[in-house]
Structure 1
Amino acid sequence: MSQLMGIYIISNDRLKDQSWIKQYEKIKGIFTNIESIYKKLKYHLHLSESDNIPIEILNSSSIIIQYLLKKILLYEIDYNEKSKRDFINFTREQYRNKLNVINEFEEDYISSRAIWWYTRKCFLYFAIDKAFRKQNIELLIKMGFFLRDVHQQINQSYNKIDNENEMIVYRGQGILEHELEIFKNHKNGFISFNNFLWTNIDRQISLSIARSATNNPNLFGILFRMKINSSIKYISLENLSYYLNSENEILFSIYTIFRIGKIKQIEDKIWQINLILVNDDNQQLKDYLQSIKYNEEQTSWQQLGFYFIQINQLDKAEELYKILLESNSINNSKQLTILNEQLKFIYNKKNNLIDSTLYFKTSLKNSSNDLLQNDSSLYLKYFNNGIRFHKENNLFEAVQNFKCALNIALHASEIVYLQIASLHYRIAEIYDEKEIFIQAVENYQSALENDLK
């Protein structure tokens, strides 16, 4: 009977006493016509399909990355109508057999119906699942406008409950044996569901989904029991979902974090994992994020890129910066300059001097247009970088950074000639060391001229 998902009884006479049905868990009801069975069956199939959201055991590094990526996707990027058009063009290439639904989305979509479209489980649902499962930053940014709309709809309409009261919701899904062992080994650790989190108030429905997962011999059924309160926003899908009978379903936004509690086996190949919702006031989370929160004047994408470089994930940093450039989601000249400067730094670290020079020239062009004028924080960054690279005998990088600092000093609203003289002198010293004597003499002369002003 393990492969039997449910029994639907059709009868012309609806029995007055249906209490006996409760003895048989797999009987879903008595129906008087095929249409009512179809609607109920469609709803149950929809429930069983939502059984495999990617789950991540979190450490300090993954918490920082998720925190910054969430800020970038939901708050920082300025999405517009072009964002939607670009995503639609992308999906037409990826989902050629779904063109009718894509065309409908193009014509009819409005942000106030984002949850309705998400719960429809059409191309949007599968594209989102694919992006989160593969942690594809490019695809997440492409569909960022839609992620933001769903998130905002949850925030604007969430069900507020008394902070002193708690609520229990459930989720059933399948996981592999080694994933179950990871849970057992990380009790009291943090986990997140890397997607919108779809849950149910009804334990039996979620348990049924967990049981159905064991039809795959490689999977264990997991019943997540989640203790929540109003510290995190969520929304009931009643009157919002594409499907009827969704009054027991609760939706949370992306990257909701829980702490792993008690884990116990409740049936053969079925385990219950208790989770406790973690809010932003959690001290351990605050400690993890302390290293990035002190620098709030930086954008989240700057912080994420710097963090990738810090943990030596240069490819990830390069991917992030290139996606932001190609998506045209960064329109601020100052930020574009920083973006190109960081790409230059990455290519230099990779010993790719051709691309490093290309992005340095682009950075310099942006900075000389209208930006970086009188920007003391960036001046100090370039100046200190120049000193550091000079000490490391990385003369190429030292010159480039001193030149960036010089460019800022020359375009400052209040020119400090001693500052300019000092920079020319440092550049001259490096050219002297490299035995490029003509440029060394030119910079020594410029240093003297500015010193005398």
Structure 2
Amino acid sequence: MASQKSNTSTSNIENSQLNTRKNEIQNETNIQSICFVENFVLIWLDANVKESSDQFYDSVHQLQRFVNTIILVSDEIEYADLIHYTKNEKVFIIVSGTFGINLADIMEETPQIYSIYVYCDQREYHEKWATNFRKIKGVFTDMIPICEALRRDVRQANNDLISINILQSTKSPELDQLFICSLILKEVLINNEYNEETIKEFIKFCRVHYNNNSYQTKIIKNYEKNNKKLSPIQLYTSECFLYSMLNRALRLYDIKILTKINFFVENLHEQIKKIYSQSNDQQQITVYHEQTISNDQFLQLQKNLNSLISFNTFLMATMDKELSLKFLEQSQNNPDLIDVLFKIKIDRSISSYPFIILDEFDHYKDTDRYVLFSFNAIFQIKKIQQLNERLWQVNLILAKDDDEKLKSINKWIEKEFNQLNGFLRLGQMMINIDKRDRAKEFYEMLLESTPEDDIEMFAYIHRKLGYINDQNNELNIALSHYEKSYEIRSKNIQANDPRFCKIYAGMGAIERKQGHFEKAIEHFQLTLDIYKHSSKPNPSLMAFCLFNIGLIFCEQNKYDEARDKLEKALRYQKDSSSHNYDLLAKIHSNLSIVFEHLTDYKHAIEHAQKALEIVTNIIEPNHNQIGIYQDHLNKLYQKIDE
């Protein structure tokens, strides 16, 4: 693969390009002005390196083959600011010997730092202390071996950052919102419509974000001229800007970039699919994928033996087991992470999920044989075994075409989202899994691009933004969005039309938080009254209104009335075909609080347990909301013990 090639010969940059590059890098010193489009940033920390030197720019030209954003800093304060800002990126550090001695301990404990390269003139002296730090990959006196090490580490870091989604085997498939989100993302990206203007806009976007990178700029220019002739597979396996941007966007659910790059996902998928359908490769092969995962992720693997797992990318795996083991041996030996060798058995007789053996399709024509799976390949976890103290092997097989759990989930998706298409489904899922910032970014982008005559869409978007801002406790902004949605709809429909109900309910929720209880109850009751006379009531929205009225009674210390409303809300939500698990968890949680005030600890614990069980399955394991629910349950246990 590309990662095993080394071609870091120094390139000569024309004087005009060099001067432009100097000016551009000088404008990058303020980290907050940089929009990251890749998973990585490289910080070069050295008080003696000058931005104006030809040597620096020549080094940057070499390094940017692997990391786009390179920032030179000359003091510890500026370095600390940079590290604080780079929360979503993995950081590679080139550091002078002097700064290395002073900062190695701190760097070792900084989670976003992936690798450190000490660049100095006194190699023997600095190797004495550098060997004590696992993140330091070596002491170097020349840039070429740093580039070789960086290329290898970027490749492994990309592997380690691949998002894994594991279907919880002990729960109803519909409860696992994270796994469902990955399926919806796949559906959206490989089926979305695009035109030539989409590609032009994407290239324009790339030019802006790679304008300081002469290496990638050449590739972008070639892609602009020849995108119809170029092979998507070869572009992807070259690990150029397309590969880097796509994998970051997939990891972070960056809808802004996904809406721009989705045409490439579809093209890549279609090429893999076409080659797969025409190939006569053997029915059964075994390949390997190495990845370092967290202890929490590994625990989920162990808990869900025989369940399903998906990799949220175009997964690349090798036929060479020893090659995968070699890369794992070079990992950081981080005690908080576990090395996993995924052994993947492919059987075409039971699974038709497309993949190809790269060989001549690989950009680099590697002798190491690789397999490339199409997007979001799904596997079944068959066996987990420990190979040594830090290394585990997880045996997978491609999911069968007739897998019942997958069928059940896909039916649920079509039923739940039958009125939403494309990226609108993904926007709703961002709300469902509590990625509100991504959802807000998406709907704001949609608001700008929606045609002025599409009144229904404008009303829908404003309502969604109202909900998101409400959840972010930006109440005045939220209310203005709901009012805008109401204003748009009121031009065409009567005030008692059911299409107003979600707006009324949203406004009521905000008014409740603002302490305007009478106004809030008025809006909730209006919604309930409309649905009482509607041929198509919405039980989930009625549950939402009753839930909020129950909260008002809680705030007024009317706990018997609160219990009555919350129990009615629970019945409506359970009867609803809409699986609003977030609301269901909140109803159970607040019933627990009500029963706690009524000193009925048995029922308080039952509802607290149910709330925790639900929320654990719909948001990411490290989300702070899980801790809040767990703390409440622990407090109830303590009260019983007392």
| Band of TM-score, shorter chain | 0.5 to 0.7
**Whole-angstrom distance in 1 between the partners of 2:490 and 2:183:** 30
Paired AA for residue 94 in structure 1? H
Task: Report what 2:288 is aligned to.
Answer: 171
In the other structure, the counterpart of 2:476 is 353
Residues in 2 aligned to 1:297 and 1:111: alpha-carbon distance in whole angstroms: 37
**Residue 58 (str. 1) matches residue 176 (str. 2):** no
- Aligned partner of 1:213 in structure 2 is 328
Q: Tell me the residue number matched to 2:443.
A: 321
Is the Cα contact below 8 Å between 2:485 and 2:503 reproduced in 1? no
Note if contact 2:236-2:243 (Cα within 8 Å) is conserved in structure 1: yes
Give the counterpart of 1:89 among 204, 224, 230. Answer: 204
User: Greater CA radius of gyration, 1 or 2?
Assistant: 1
C-alpha separation in 1, matches of 2:220 and 2:434? 39
Partner of 1:414: none
1:388 and 1:122 mapped to 2: Cα distance? 45
> How far apart, CA to CA, are the structure 2 residues paired with 1:187 and 1:142?
37
In 1, distance between residues paired with 2:294 and 2:505?
53
Q: Is the 8 A contact 1:166 1:227 kept in 2?
A: no
Q: 1:250 to 1:176 in 2, by over 3 A?
A: closer
Verify: 1:249 aligned to 2:357, yes or no. no
Q: Which whole-Å CA distance do the structure 1 matches of 2:280 and 2:461 have between them?
A: 45
Q: 1:263 to 1:337 in 2, by over 3 A?
A: same
Distance in 2 (CA, whole Å) between partners of 1:102 and 1:154 is 22
**Superposition deviation, residue 275 in structure 1:** 0.6
Instruction: Note closer, same or farther for the CA distance 1:91–1:211 as it changes in structure 2 (3 Å cut).
Output: same
Post-superposition offset of 1:65: 1.0
1 or 2 for the larger relative contact order (CA 8 Å, sep ≥6)? 1
Q: 1:162 to 1:122 in 2, by over 3 A?
A: closer
Q: Kindly state the Cα deviation for residue 194 of structure 1 after the two structures are TM-superposed.
A: 1.4
Change (3 A) 1:316 1:398: farther
| Change beyond 3 A, Cα 1:236–1:85 | same
With normalisation by structure 1, the TM-score equals 0.64
Shift of 1:117: 0.8
| Alignment correspondent of 2:228 | 110
Identity %: 25
Structure 1 unaligned runs (5+)? Answer: 7-40, 406-453
Give the distance between the partners of 1:54 and 1:329, measured in 2 at CA.
Answer: 36
- Contact 2:315–2:375 at 8 Å: present in 1 too? yes
**2-structure distance, mates of 1:82, 1:305:** 23
Compared CA separation, residues 180 and 318, structure 1 to 2 (3 A): same
Residue of structure 1 in register with 2:398 after alignment: 277
**How high is the TM-score relative to the length of structure 2?**
0.47
For 2:465, the equivalent position in structure 1 comes to 343
Residue-by-residue CA offset, 1:184-203 (whole Å, 9 max, x unaligned): 34322322111101123x2x
How far residue 291 of structure 1 moved from its aligned partner, in angstroms, is: 3.8
1:80 aligns with 2:188: no
Q: Which residue of 2 aligns with 1:192?
A: 310
Q: Secondary structure at the match of 2:469?
A: helix
Residue type of the alignment partner of 1:234: F
Q: Give the aligned partner of residue 420 of structure 2.
A: 298
* In structure 2, C-alpha distance between the alignment counterparts of 1:297 and 1:134, rounded to whole Å: 26
Confirm or deny: 8 A CA contact 1:236 1:247 kept in the other structure.
no
The reply on whether 1:156 has 2:274 as its aligned counterpart is yes
* Structure 2 unpaired stretches of 5+: 6-147, 168-175, 510-516, 532-642
The alpha-carbon deviation at position 314 of structure 1 amounts to 4.1
Shift of 1:122: 1.1
Find the aligned partners of 1:278 and 1:255 in 2 and give their Cα distance: 12
Q: What is the RMSD computed on CA atoms of the aligned residues?
A: 4.3
| Cα drift, residue 242 of structure 1 | 1.0
Distance 1:105 1:259 in 2: 37
- With over 3 angstroms needed to count, the CA separation of the structure-2 counterparts of 1:110 and 1:169, relative to structure 1, is farther
Partner of 1:448: none
Q: SS of the counterpart of 1:298?
A: coil
What is the aligned length? 353
